[in-house]
Structures are given as structure tokens and as C-alpha cells.
Amino acid sequence: MFPRRIILVIGTFLITVLLYVDRACIGAAKENISSDFNLTNLQWTWVLAIFTLGYALFQRPAGQLSDKKGPRFVMACIIGVWSFLTALTGAAWNAMSLLVIRFLFGAGEAGAFPTLSKVVFKWFPIKERGIVQGINFSGSRLGAAFAYPIVFILISAVGWKWSFGVFGIVGVLFAVVWWIFFRDTPEEIEDISAEEKKYIIDNRQEQSSAKPKPLDFIKTMKSSNLWMAMIQYIGSNFTFYFTLTWMFPYLKEALKASGTNTSFYAMAPLIAGALGNWVSGFMVDKMYASGRWRWSRRLPAMIGFTLAAIGMFLMPQADSTMMKLLLLSIAIFGADMTLSPSWAFCIDIGKEHAGSVSGTMNMAGNLGAFASILVFGYLAESLISSGLNAKEAMAANDMFFYICAGLSVLSIIMWSFMRPRRSIVD
């Protein structure tokens, strides 16, 4: 990979780190926020879930905007808006204000990954898509992993309100840096080498010289390829989003650990997820280079969902701290193996409309995340109604993990029929 693309990958990696640091803050701050606002278990469930609803609903519009206006402008706006709303979270004064800010926060973050897909389409040859997407998504997992101990320490030092302010300021600065240094295509940059520019243009997917017309939503939804991509992404996000929302309080109760210890325990599954992205990204590119385009997307995803199903199914039966962490880490490693092929698949079938298509898939996936948060919260509430206290219900919520396993099996079936060569726009 030539120097300019290496710099660009570092930049997109840092964006996803920041994206998930800001997103994971809320999980580590649960006890402080719940205490200040006197939130019940179900109220906290909606604080977590409302973010994903806003995030899901604005995925496709934000993806279409990146197709129309270009990733330089759109990404700078997205980073700036979500960073402002991160800081604003610290200014919430009651449960209702927190719900409104969290919904807007989700809407503000929507489009980040579809816009990054547009960056990959414009800047990287097809044979590099897997590893680039793997690197980008690994950044999101590492950001979330390190957010837990960092936020826990920061809250102890300055309180939860100022912690959100600190992360918001960092984000605004990064938006400015992105606007100054990034350009939508290599053709717009003068200081890129002629050799690298030629290599990109000769090896990336065929591109239209004209701005693409908006992709008709009805036509999009007639694609069985996209429907299957959406269904399997629901399965992936249903499993993964547990790590960003309920994992911290679950581990704290299930492992009977202190907040400090839990913040480090919670890093393990997310680091495993980062590794899963790297492994999958490498597999995607290696298999594509060998001429197996369809299987370069299909096989890594199917292996990933198999691991996710096994890990989640066995999790409730584990009776030791290390075994629970190991099985959860295996499950998240597997769930994250599905990301690189999923997003590469959307770029394959979407081409110039990569932002719109990947945004549609991500919308479905985040509706799955929305459901995941609610399912865990309401299952825990049903256990409370049966006589357990809130902490016992958190640790005994086994049915949630069986649902995750079942959705992973369904996702394997979806991948067996998906075709990356069948473009939506042709």
C-alpha cells in the first residue's frame, strides 16, 4: 500500500476509534447517571435504545448525502455534530432531556460508516477493501474497549458530566483536521505521487465521471441481495451491541467485580472483536486475490456467525469468570468477522451508490441493535417481576444469549444465498 493510502487508513481508523469512545461512554457511566436522575432499569433501557433508533433512522439519508456531497463535507459535519452532542450529554438535567439528546446523538452519528464506505470506493482498489474495512471496524472496537477504563477513571476525577465535555472537544478538533487534509478523490490531490494515483485509478471499481443520480428507494428494496444483507446484519448487531450497552453492568454483576476490575474485563471481548475484523479483512482480500469473489465475502462471514452462535449459546452455561469472558470474546470475535465482508458486499452491489446501499444495511442492523437493547432490558425486567432483584436479574438473563445464537444461525443461511456480483444499479 502506498504512503497516501496508509495515511488515509490511519485517519479513518482514528475516526472509528473516536466514534466508539463517544458511543461507549454511556455504558461506563450507568451508575452515576442512573443515580443522579433516579432512573429505573426500564428507563435506562430506553436511554440506551433511543440512541440506536436515531442512528438507524438516519442511516440511509446520511448515506445518500455522502453519495451526493462527497465524504469530505459529510464526514466533517457528522464528526462535528456528534461531538457537540457528546458534550451536550453532560448538560442533561433529567431523564427526558437525556432521552432527547441521546436520540439526536444517534441521528448525528448516522452516516459515519456509509460515508467511510464511499471513501473506500473512491480511494482503494477492490482487492484492498477487506483489510481496509477490517482496520476501520477494529478501530471502533478498540475505541470502545479503551473507553471503559478511561471513562471510569475520568468520571472519578471530574464527574460524568465533564467527561462527556472532554470527549466532545476532542471530536470537534478532529472534524477540523479532516476538513483541512482530506479530499474526496485522489484526482483532487496534487501532492500524491503519479504512481500511486495511477495504481488507484487502474485497480479500483469502475467509477462514473458524473455525479450519481439518487438511488430509488423502491428499486433498492426490490433487491433480494440487499434484503439478505440487511437480515444478516441484524444478527451481527444484535450480538455485538450487547458490548456497548449492557455488557459493563452485566459483567459487574455476573462476575461480582468492582467497577475498576469490570472496566478491564470489558476490554477483552472488544479487543477480540478488533482481532476478528483484522482476521476477516485479511481473509476477504486473500480470497478475492485468488479469484474467489463470492466466497471472499461469504466464507469469512459464515465462519464468524458460527463462532458467534457457539459462544453465545454456551455463555449462560459457563460457571467461572474466565470461561464467561472467553466465550463472550469468542462470540464477539465471530460477530466482528462478519463486518468486513458485509460492508465490502455493499460496495460491490452498490458501486457509486455505496453510501446509500451500506446505509440501508446499517439502518437494518441498528434496528437490530435497538431490539437487542430492549430485549435484554425487558427480559431482565421479567426476571425482576418473578422475584429477583435488579442485580440478580442482570446476571441471570440467559434467554438473551440464546436469542443471539439463533439469529447467528439465521444469518449463516442468508449468506449462503448472497451474490456480490449481482449489482443493484445494473
SS3 track for the chain: CCHHHHHHHHHHHHHHHHHHHHHHHHHHCHHHHHHHHCCCHHHHHHHHHHHHHHHHHCHHHHHHHHHHHCHHHHHHHHHHHHHHHHHHHCCCCCHHHHHHHHHHHHHHHCCHHHHHHHHHHHHCCHHHHHHHHHHHHHHHHHHHHHHHHHHHHHHHHHCHHHHHHHHHHHHHHHHHHHHHHCCCCHHHCCCCCHHHHHHHHHHCCCCCCCCCCCCCHHHHHCCHHHHHHHHHHHHHHHHHHHHCCCHHHHHHHHCCCCHHHHHHHCHHHHHHHHHHHHHHHHHHHHHHHCCCHHHHHHHHHHHHHHHHHHHHHHHHHCCCHHHHHHHHHHHHHHHHHCHHHHHHHHHHHHHHHHHHHHHHHHHHHHHHHHHHHHHHHHHHHHHHHCCCCHHHHHHCCHHHHHHHHHHHHHHHHHHCCCCCCCCCCC
Ordered domains of the chain (ranges, CATH): 3-203+215-415 (1.20.1250.20)
Question: Which residue has cell 457457539?
Answer: 310
Q: What is the mean pLDDT of residues 340-353?
A: 88
Q: What is the mean pLDDT of residues 411-426?
A: 87
Rounded to an integer, the average pLDDT of 173-180 is: 93
Share of the chain above pLDDT 90, in %: 35
Report the range out of 30-34, 128-132, 216-220, 312-316 with the highest average pLDDT: 312-316
> Rounded to whole angstroms, how far apart are CA atoms 272 and 252?
19
pLDDT for 422:
84
| pLDDT above 80: residue 2 | no
Q: How large is the average pLDDT for residues 90-106?
A: 92
- Under a CB-based contact definition with an 8 Å cutoff, are residues 157 and 46 in contact? no
User: How far is the first Cα of the chain from the last one, in angstroms, to the nearest whole number?
Assistant: 30
45 pLDDT exceeds 80? yes
Q: What is the pLDDT of residues 288-298, one digit of tens each?
A: 988 888 899 99
pLDDT of residue 302: 97
Q: What is the predicted pLDDT for the residue at 213?
A: 66
Average model confidence (pLDDT) across the chain: 87
160 — pLDDT class (breaks 50, 70, 90): confident
Q: For residue 143, what pLDDT is reported?
A: 83
pLDDT score for 341: 94
| Sequence-ordered list of residues with C-beta below 8 angstroms from that of 261, at least 6 positions apart, any chain | 255
Query: Quick one: pLDDT band at residue 194, thresholds 50, 70, 90?
Result: confident
30-to-33, 41, 258 alpha-carbon distances in Å = 5, 10, 14
Q: What is the pLDDT of residue 208?
A: 56
152: confidence class by pLDDT, cuts 50, 70, 90: confident
**Residue 210 confidence (pLDDT):** 56
Q: What is the pTM of this model?
A: 0.83
Q: Is 300 within 8 Å of 360 (Cβ atoms)?
A: no
pLDDT at position 25 is 75
C-alpha distances in Å from residue 262, one per residue of 27, 112, 148, 389: 12, 29, 9, 20
C-alpha torsion 269→275→278→280, nearest 10: -70
pLDDT of residue 114: 84
Q: Is the pLDDT of residue 348 over 70?
A: yes
Higher-confidence residue of 150 and 367: namely 367
In degrees and rounded to multiples of 5, residue 360 shows phi and psi of -65, -45
* CB-neighbour burial class of residue 36 (10 A; exposed 0-12, middle 13-18, buried 19+): middle
Query: Rounded CA gap, 260 and 262, in Å?
Result: 5
Q: What does the pLDDT read at residue 205? A: 67
Residue 264: CB atoms within 10 A of its CB come to 13
145 confidence band (pLDDT: 50, 70, 90): confident
- Choice between 253 and 101, residue whose per-residue pLDDT is larger: 101
Highest-pLDDT range among 161-165, 270-274, 306-310, 368-372: 306-310
- The per-residue pLDDT for 319 is 81
